Structure 1
Amino acid sequence: MFYASITGQFEKHKSWVYSVDINKQDIVVSASENELLLWNKRKCTDRLVGHTDAIKTVAFSHSGQQIASGSIDKSIKVWSSSDKKTINTLNGHSKGVNKVEFSNADKYIISAGYDDKMLIWDWTNNKVVKELNIKHTNFSINNQDVLAYIDSSCSLILFDLKSLSVIKVVGHFCGSPVFNPQKNIIAIKDSVFTFIDLNSNSVLSTLDIKKENSVCEVSTFKFTPDGQYLVAGIWGGDIEIWDWQKKLLIRTLQGHNLSSVDDFSFNSKNQLISASGDRSLRFWNWNTGDLHMIVGDGLFKAKLNGLLSISILLTLIAGFWALTKNTDNKLSSYILLSILSCWSLGIGLVVYFYKSTLTKYATPIIWTTTVLSGLFFFSVWLSWLALFTVPISLLFCYIKMTTSNDKTKIYFPLIINLVFCGILCSFVTSA
């Protein structure tokens, strides 16, 4: 716990997490209240404070050397990700800023605000080079530096950030546009999703998630990096992954607690990072649906405190019983009690830290130890070994149930081990 505390693993968001982004070094930045938090795996390495109101949006530059943040305080701040200081403050919006993003060459910062303005900034010179009228604060930039947005007349506009000119007007649409990263296709979310082929300016298909799956409204969405699937955050906390071409729900990621999912980002490890109103960042393998890690919600600290309390309590009970039975050598008993305390807590910490790694081995270990427990129970001289195999089986049942969506394979061995555990408890009580 001391190690976790001094390395920033107990740090948590003060409130709602509105936005998240990640750079090529897998450093994560999250926006909550009026501060930015930088995360390296589970560790919070820095807090960047400077805005005077809630930060609604954050984005890394493509080089990873700068961070842009937009706030309800109407300002945009550009930070150095190396020395964690403000490089520049951009003031141009008359209302709060809801989205910021860097152009591909990092020459410009594009910002959209609640004043129905989109500003293109030469951020190094603190200069607005283009002002555009918008209908929705969401926009999207593809890898050719083409900006897609909905203007004040509800037209989908493609704007070239290299020449700072309009390429074409695609058609009359209202909603939030997002480019497909692999195809010349754009998705627009209004009451339904509309998928548009930008080569022909024609509608490929539509998808009504609410009708298809009877869910709450979509709060945010993105394509997966391969462009094959659409990831939608749902009011209520679920994340749905859709095959948008087949109109098929592939899987639902459940974990955020009765809140909205407000933003997504993808890292180099094929993980989806979700930001939510429940104050957490969650790291998912979106291909399998497995939850790998949760940071920023304070739950890690609570679990460690609970683990410490339970470990100490159980060790004290066992140690007290041992001390009452041993009247010859009190010093040896106290030393043994101290070793058991450190051992029980240490095992718990190791399992918690490597839970996502151990989950791939969980099912075979559960079955192996269950079979061994049965063999030990029915033997004469080896029955005491069940004291070790039964807890190991239950421990890996816990790991499997908390890290995987597929729990059906372990219900049967779980029941068997609970029966074995009851038998062991009755033996201990009678002894």
Structure 2
Amino acid sequence: MASPYPEDPSLERHFKGHRDAVTCVDFSFNMKQLASGSMDSCLMVWHMKPQSRAYRFTGHKDAVTCVNFSPSGHLLASGSRDKTVRIWVPNIKGESTVFRAHTATVRSVHFCSDGQSFVTASDDKTIKVWSTHRQKFLFSLSQHINWVRCAKFSPDGRLIVSASDDKTVKLWDKTSRECVHSYCEHGGFVTYVDFHPSGTCVAAAGMDNTVKVWDVRTHRLLQHYQLHSAAVNALSFHPSGNYLVTASSDSTLKILDLMEGRLLYTLHGHQGPATTVAFSRTGEYFASGGSDEQVMVWKSNFDVIDYGEVLRVQRPPATLASSSGTLTVSILEQRLTLTEDKLKQCLENQQLIMQRTTP
């Protein structure tokens, strides 16, 4: 019988240029550029077109910890241990605007889907939201009691999720600026968090080697993966929402099939900890970075459906504005809501995989 996964992911190319550990990667929306940050204080913008020269942006006075392209791709945000955020124009000039953002290391920066604002997270225990174009501070969220490692907007921009060394994941309402819920199931520092493309659930990675997926509506734990043998440093959802890729200090990347609740692939590319990973906007590629100073670009191969087509078919006509949300949610609920039985089955599958893969 033909496998539903046509080929294993393959290493497409790798970029050398950083002089210290790579901390973060992000693709531009049009896939023409890939940005990476490093402990060497530099930001690199690599061109996906072969034989094109990379841009090296200097300006940060200490390690670059996070990077994110704006939805338009015309701007690139970076955060640093120097406590600042810089907004760059990713061209040969590399001009940037500096935001004196926090009183300690900036760990995370992420643009809202409309590009009008961005959110930052810091070791000063706060999350801050900023206006992109007016270049001003909007408001702060401060209920974490330890370093905040990561903060992300939901796809619709109405919620913010954050991960902290206080061992919690917090969900915030952007309008009321209130903490809606705290997820406290992690056994250690929470290193990374992100929203599922549907906005209905979040996945968080932890120092306790786990990945956990929660429903943001019911706040139930949907899935719990313990597949890595060291801290999970980053994760990224495939745009289809069916897959999750993780990067770990055990030096591997792992690709999880979320619909089946099982491990699909383990990728060995980095020498030493894999620190960061991100899918491209189409899901055709993903990039990873490691303490080996390497940036690697992988071709996914495992999902050949054109999800652009699927989304176009599922998108209801504009005249049904009032019911469009309901339709989308009903489709997603069919796909995503795991019953108790399904969750139990997923956990049993994982245990079997663990038994098979443990020497």
* 1:54-74 residue CA offsets vs partner (Å, 9 max, x unmatched): 111111111111111111111
C-alpha distance in 2 between matches for 1:242 and 1:261: 18
Structure ranking higher in strand proportion: 2
Q: Does 1:14 align with 2:23?
A: no
Selected match of 1:165 from 177, 195, 210: 177
Instruction: Tell me the CA shift for residue 173 of structure 1.
Output: 4.6
Normalised TM-score (structure 1): 0.58
Q: Paired residue for 1:193, among 208, 211, 225?
A: 211
CA distance in 1, matches of 2:236, 2:114: 22
The structure with the larger Rg is 1
1:243 aligns with 2:252: no
Alignment of 1:43-122 (within 5 A): 43-82=52-91, 84-122=93-131
Q: What is the correspondence of 1:250-289 to structure 2 with a 5 Å cutoff?
A: 250-268=264-282, 270-288=284-302
3-state SS, counterpart of residue 94 of structure 1? coil
1:24 to 20, 29, 35: 29
- From 198, 207, 228, the equivalent of 2:225 is 207
| CA spacing shift, 1:92–1:219, aligned 2, 3 Å | closer
Please say if 1:40 is aligned against 2:54.
no
1:149 to 150, 162, 165: 162
Cα deviations by residue, 1:54-99 (Å, 9 ceiling, x for unpaired): 1111111111111111111111111112463334211131111111
Q: Counterpart of 2:11? A: none
Pairing 1:181–2:197 present: yes
Q: What displacement does 1:204 show?
A: 2.1
Cα shift at 1:165: 2.8
Do 1:140 and 1:178's aligned partners in 2 also have CA atoms closer than 8 Å?
yes
Structure 2: which 5+ residue stretches go unaligned?
Answer: 1-13, 304-359
RMSD after superposition? 2.6
Q: Distance in 2 between matches of 1:287 and 1:10?
A: 20
Instruction: State whether residues 90 and 123 of structure 1, in contact with CA within 8 Å, keep that contact through their aligned partners in structure 2.
Output: no
What residue in structure 1 maps to residue 315 of structure 2?
none
Separation of aligned partners in 1, 2:128 and 2:259: 34
Question: Aligned pair in 2 of structure 1 residues 182, 101: CA closer, same or farther (>3 Å)?
Answer: same
Contact 2:223 2:261 in 1 (8 A): no
Q: Report the 3-state secondary structure (helix = DSSP H, G, I; strand = E; otherwise coil) of the residue aligned with 1:287.
A: coil
2:152 to 140, 149, 155: 140
Contact 2:119 2:152 in 1 (8 A): no
Letter of the 2:162 partner, please give it: Y
Judge conservation of contact 2:55–2:92 (CA < 8 Å) in 1: no
Give the AA of the match of 2:280.
F
How many residues align structurally?
276
Alpha-carbon offset, residue 275 of structure 1? 1.3
Shift of residue 152, structure 1, vs aligned partner: 8.8
Q: What secondary structure does 2:18 align onto? A: coil
Question: Residue 295 of structure 1 corresponds to which residue in structure 2?
Answer: none
Which AA in structure 2 matches 1:144?
D
Distance 1:280 1:158, change over 3 A: same
Distance 1:155 1:260 in 2: 23
Q: Distance in 2 between matches of 1:186 and 1:111?
A: 18
> In 2, Cα distance between the equivalents of 1:68 and 1:217?
26
Q: Which runs of 5+ in 1 are unaligned?
A: 1-8, 290-431
- Distance in 1 separating the partners of 2:54 and 2:223: 44
Assess, with a 3 A threshold, how the Cα gap between structure 1 residues 170 and 92 changes in structure 2: closer, same or farther.
closer
Structure 1 window deviating more from structure 2 (78-87 vs 43-52): it is 78-87
Q: Which moved more, 1:239-248 or 1:33-42?
A: 239-248
Q: Secondary structure at the match of 2:102?
A: coil
3-state SS of the aligned residue for 2:239? coil
Q: Name the structure with the higher helix share.
A: 1
Partner Cα distance (1:19, 1:87) in 2:
19
Q: Is the 8 A contact 2:246 2:277 kept in 1?
A: no
AA of the residue aligned to 1:221: L
TM-score w.r.t. the length of structure 2 is 0.69
Q: 64-73 or 189-198, which moves further after superposition?
A: 189-198
How far apart, in 1, do the equivalents of 2:196 and 2:177 lie? Answer: 22
The 3 A distance-change label for structure 1 pair 278 and 172 is closer
